[in-house]
Structure 1
Amino acid sequence: MWRSRKARSFLCASVSLFPRAFIVWLANGETIRVYKMIKKDDGSFTFTATSGDFPKKHKAPVINIGIAETGKFVMTASSDTTILIWSPKGDVLASINTNQMNNAYAAVSPCGRFVASCGFTPDVKVWEVCFGKNGDFREVARAFELKGHTAGVHCFSFSNDSRRMATVSKDGTWKFWDTDVEYKKQQDPYLLLTGKCEVTEPCRIALSPDARVVAISSGTDIVVYNTRRGEEEERFLGVHGRCIMDLAFDTNSRYLVSCGDRAIRVFHNAAGHRAVVEEMETMLKKTANKATRERLEQQISSARKALAAIYGKKH
């Protein structure tokens, strides 16, 4: 159910994409560098380092890099308790002390509004990066926290609209959260579901963009769960020769991608298609509107066809 492709090894902790550039942490030089896409005379493209690296502000190795989809800021997190918010030109806009003893993971939300981190403490902290109407940076303000785990959190993931999050902890559980709350009025996120899982470091979690499926990697294995009942859907064992270092879904929730041992492996998100069928069939039973029924039936048919193509039979 997967295919692999060899990936070139870079001395970096994380890579994030601009429209025509990418930014990396170079471990050997302990520096952050931007590479821009350049069109050559023959029509092909190459990447060239921009003049001047980001100034060295971190006192520990960088573990994660994120770029807001708005292009307004870059986030870098180091293995101590520091998160820096940068302008795209490399100026430090703000410094965050996560107070988590160490950072295990950090990310920018897909909507580009939030920065979140997890670490030694049993919670996930989320901040809003605020800009004025004229586009100028204003401040970084605490937004909300995900509390409920009983041990440190390995990793977390946002849905595409940032209204849902998933977390995985050393306590052997993963949790699914409703983060569509009025945090400025002190409203806390809602815990929707808690599931049990196996956790061996390094451990990563990926929530599909449509929030229907959660995938968790532990060592060299991947387990996929649905978010309606928290049940295990699929298990992929030994998919990499070495520990899986990262896990992600594509923007359409059709594929799950893992990386490790200098290879990338791509999986069909069959659990996601089954979740669509289940959800649409439930909605179909509750509606009498003809147009709505036709739309739901079309979605069910598309999901069933996708499953048939994956498994090579009627499903």
Structure 2
Amino acid sequence: MNSVLFNAKMNELRAVTDDYNEQVEEESKNSSKSEKQLANKKPKLVARVRSREKIVFTHKWLAGTLKGHSSPILDMDFSPNGKYVITVAEDRSLMLWSTKEFEQKEHKAFIVSLGNANTVRVFRIGKKEDGSPGNITGALDFPQKHKAQIINIGIASSGKFIMSISSDTTMIVWSIKGDVLSEINTNHMNNSYGAVSPCGRFVASSGFTPDVKVWEVCFTKSGEFHEVRRAFELKGHAAGVHCFSFNHDSTRMASASKDGTWKYWDTNIRYDMNQDPYLLFTGSLKWSGPCIISLSPDGRTVAMAQHLGIYVCNSSGQDEEVIENVHSEISSQLGFDNSGKYLLSAGDKQVHVLHNITGYKATIEELVELEKKANGQAMKERIRSQITDARNALQRILSDEESNGHVKGK
């Protein structure tokens, strides 16, 4: 691996931390600036600094906790190959973790400092002779194109493009060299969230309007950029959409809205034939306020972070687990690793790694159904062996957590 591009999502890291630091310096020079004016400009950071209770989190699903940041984590993301997770914090630090070490007590990380421009910076990760990650260096800063604060960035798993979205109605699709391929007006009045699909085909946005808009980023057979075209929309919420999530191949999506509901969608459609996504079901959010929603790679597990907790549902919309007091405030990011075995919640100064118990249960249920339909004794035996392995793995996880003294969150 000569280089890996990560979605470090430096939006808040630059726009909140660096702007805040600049404001503090300016305040020391100009005593006439009131504390109230500063608080109004950056309410998120001021609110975090004002009060933060220490949360000691335990739960039977807990696999481990990634610790090392000295200030609250702002965001996290996985590398396209699923081998690493990256976290960024208010102190301008970046840490790179190996997913193989999720259940170890000690974790190794690489730290770099980030700039303060409201743009995208690409980092290259070298490798040592043994193949492990080496030096992390800033390779390229994109030109400043956004007029408003960048709120999310994303990198296609194919490595062909990068997306950035700002708090106005602007989304930009870039080449990995920093050239603007397309600039999109989302027409949300203002944007609240943006993402690149894990399959690397789509970019999507949500905001003040009650929908999620999805575009396809098209390339020619020779790999040249062709166009960005509207693919489909998720329609049905009664208010703006906080957040949305794709599964690994974009055949399923989930969305969470200010109307107090979350929705699960079948997006395995012929959008080129003007076919609309199918709404599979609608659920109610557990708590009030903003919500981060995440869909597992196989689409079998839906996790939502709200208030101080997380709740997990299966693909039928049934509640599986409600986990309270995970962090001292809402998670800054929530997501599943590429294998779907773990659910990660970033908040405070650490990342909690939870076993995806719902995913294990769904796998067992699917295998049981396959066994019933299997033709031939050899096929049945193979499926039975897989069922046994899955059940043993689930039992081992639950037994280990109970022996470690973890207790159910609720």
State TM-score, norm by structure 2. Answer: 0.70
Question: How far apart, CA to CA, are the structure 2 residues paired with 1:16 and 1:5?
Answer: 14
The match for 1:29 among 81, 97, 117 is 117
Q: Does 1:71 align with 2:132?
A: no
Query: By how many angstroms is 1:287 displaced?
Result: 4.2
Identify the match of residue 237 of structure 1 among 304, 324, 332: 324
2:74 and 2:344 mapped to 1: Cα distance?
19
Name the CA distance, whole Å, in 1 between partners of 2:215 and 2:330.
30
2-structure distance, mates of 1:62, 1:253: 29
What's the secondary structure of 2:120's corresponding residue? strand
Deviation (angstroms), 1:105: 1.0
Give the Cα separation in 1 of the matches to 2:133 and 2:386.
Answer: 39
Question: Structure 1 residues 279 and 242 mapped into 2: Cα distance closer, same or farther (>3 Å)?
Answer: same
Q: Which amino acid in structure 2 is aligned with residue 220 of structure 1?
A: L
- Once residues 378 and 165 of structure 2 are traced to their aligned partners in structure 1, the CA distance between those partners, rounded to angstroms, is 48
1:109 aligns to what? 197
Partner Cα separation in structure 1 for residue 119 and residue 232 of structure 2: 31
Q: CA RMSD in A?
A: 2.7
The TM-score, its normalising length taken from structure 1, stands at: 0.90
SS in structure 2 at match of 1:307: helix
Equivalent residue runs for 1:78-97 within 5 Å: 78-97=166-185
Q: Tell me which of 264, 276, 281 is aligned to 1:188.
A: 276
Residues 1:48 and 2:137 aligned together: yes
Match of 1:249 in 2: 336
> Unmatched 5+ residue regions in structure 1?
none
Q: Distance in 1 between matches of 2:87 and 2:363?
A: 35
Structure 1 position 4 matched with structure 2 position 65: yes
Check if 1:157 corresponds to 2:245: yes
Structure with greater strand share of residues: 1
Query: What is the deviation of 1:15?
Result: 5.8
Which of the numbers 272, 282, 285 marks the counterpart of 2:372? Answer: 285
Matched, 1:144 2:232: yes
SS of residue in 2 equivalent to 1:31: coil
Q: What is the identity, as a one-letter code, of the residue corresponding to 2:65?
A: S
Q: Who is 1:207 aligned against?
A: 295
C-alpha distance in 1 between matches for 2:183 and 2:87 = 19
Post-superposition shift, 1:282? Answer: 3.2
- Kindly tell me: are residues 238 and 14 of structure 1, through their superposed partners in 2, closer, same or farther at Cα, counting changes over 3 Å? closer
State the one-letter code of the partner of 1:301.
T
Give how far 1:27 is off. Answer: 7.5
Query: How far apart, in 2, do the equivalents of 1:216 and 1:253 lie?
Result: 15
Distance change in 2, residues 1:15/1:307 (3 Å): closer
Distance 1:143 1:168, change over 3 A: same
- 1:13, 1:62 within 8 Å by CA — same for their partners in 2? no
Between the aligned partners of 1:113 and 1:305, the Cα distance in structure 2 is: 37
Post-superposition Cα deviations, 1:62-93, rounded to whole Å, max 9, x if no partner, equal: 11111111111000111111110000000111
Partner amino acid, structure 2, of 1:47 = I
The alpha-carbon deviation at position 13 of structure 1 amounts to 6.5
Q: Using the TM superposition, give the Cα deviation of residue 199 of structure 1 relative to its aligned residue in structure 2, in angstroms.
A: 4.4
Name the % identity.
Answer: 53
Provide the rounded CA distance (Å) in 2 between the counterparts of 1:165 and 1:18.
19
Distance 1:14 1:99, change over 3 A: farther
Alignment-derived partner of residue 262 in structure 1: 349
Q: Which amino acid aligns with 2:214?
A: V
Is there any run of 5+ residues in structure 2 with no aligned partner, and where? 1-60, 93-113, 401-410
Distance (Å, rounded) in 2 between the aligned partners of 1:209 and 1:263: 23
1:248 counterpart letter in structure 2: G
Q: For each residue in 1:155-207, what CA deviation from the matched residue of structure 2 results, as whole angstroms up to 9, or x when unmatched?
A: 11111111111111112221111111110000111111222222444411111
Tell me the distance in 2 between the aligned counterparts of 1:39 and 1:285.
48
User: Could you say what secondary structure the match of 1:304 adopts?
Assistant: helix
Distance 1:273 1:92, change over 3 A: same
Q: 1:48 deviation in Å?
A: 1.3
Q: 2:304 aligns with which of 208, 216, 232?
A: 216
Q: Which has the larger radius of gyration?
A: 2
Q: Shift of the alpha carbon at 1:239?
A: 0.8
Structure number with higher helix proportion: 2
User: Residues 302 and 84 of structure 1: is their aligned pair in 2 closer, same or farther, counting only changes over 3 Å?
Assistant: same
Counterpart CA distance in 2 for 1:34 and 1:59 is 20
Q: Determine which structure has greater relative contact order: mean sequence separation of CA pairs < 8 Å that are 6+ residues apart, divided by chain length.
A: 2
Measure how far apart 1:263 and its partner are.
0.8
- From 283, 296, 307, the equivalent of 2:383 is 296
Contact 1:13/1:64 (8 A) holds in 2? no
